[in-house]
A and B are shown apart, each in its own frame.
Chain A
Amino acid sequence: EAQVTQNPRYLITVTGKKLTVTCSQNMNHEYMSWYRQDPGLGLRQIYYSMNVEATDKGDVPEGYKVSRKEKRNFPLILESPSPNQTSLYFCASSLGSKGGPGRATDTQYFGPGTRLTVL
């Protein structure tokens, strides 16, 4: 089944304790991204990656790191989490640049979300 998976789905941690949220897709997608979703603020992009070893900042990158060493994986790293990073996080992927613009190539498939609480 084509899907984007995230782990863990729920995480409660304390300020300053490094954590990693994993994201994996099995669709051979080039483009992957991380979003956070907060009440009243909607979905905001944290980082995105056009392909392996190619990452770039989104709208709210402060306090986050990412890496893209393999095409299928795009982990989100919080080196020193703080309470303002309490949020619902989504990973997404899309086919990327292959082919012309269109629904098939531009659709972003979202993972199920990771609810993070930083105390």
Chain B
Amino acid sequence: QKEVEQDPGPLSVPEGAIVSLNCTYSNSAFQYFMWYRQYSRKGPELLMYTYSSGNKEDGRFTAQVDKSSKYISLFIRDSQPSDSATYLCAMSPRRNTPLVFGKGTRLSVIA
């Protein structure tokens, strides 16, 4: 079993839809959970950051971490065409240790 599993998609939704992106992981030591967004031909940029469990909301984006289920989610409300990108989950057990990335989910929001 891979350390981090993420459905690669592609996922295509109409503008305004609620999008749910997910990752599962096997290492119970992971404490730092992040979501990166990567536009085509660009480097990833941090979208959401969560330490330990719980929910974090930032505008249209909500990140959820369920450590008991080893499952993290990213929700995008009122999705826009500008949200079309690849979304990568990433996690690590301690600060300043290598991040383990999911393979990324490619999202297209159709106007």
Residues of A within 8 A of B42 (CB): 112-113
- Answer whether A108 and B46 are a contact pair too, CB < 8 Å, given A41-B103, A97-B95: yes
Residues of B near any A CB (own CB < 8 A): 6, 8, 32, 34, 41-46, 49, 51, 88, 90, 95-96, 98-99, 101-104
Residue A53 CB within 8 A of the other chain: no
Q: Chain A: which residue is nearest B32 at the CB level?
A: A106
Contacts of A48 in B (CB 8 A): 98
Q: Is the CB of A42 within 8 A of B96?
A: no
A60-88 vs B, CB cutoff 8 Å, 1 = contact: the mask equals 00000000000000000000000000000
Subset of 20 A-B contacts with CB under 8 Å? A4-B43, A42-B102, A43-B99, A44-B101, A45-B98, A50-B96, A58-B98, A90-B43, A96-B96, A97-B95, A97-B96, A103-B46, A105-B95, A106-B32, A106-B34, A110-B44, A112-B42, A113-B41, A113-B42, A113-B43
Count CB-based A-B contacts (< 8 Å).
Answer: 60
Please state if B44 and A90 are interface contacts (CB–CB under 8 Å).
yes
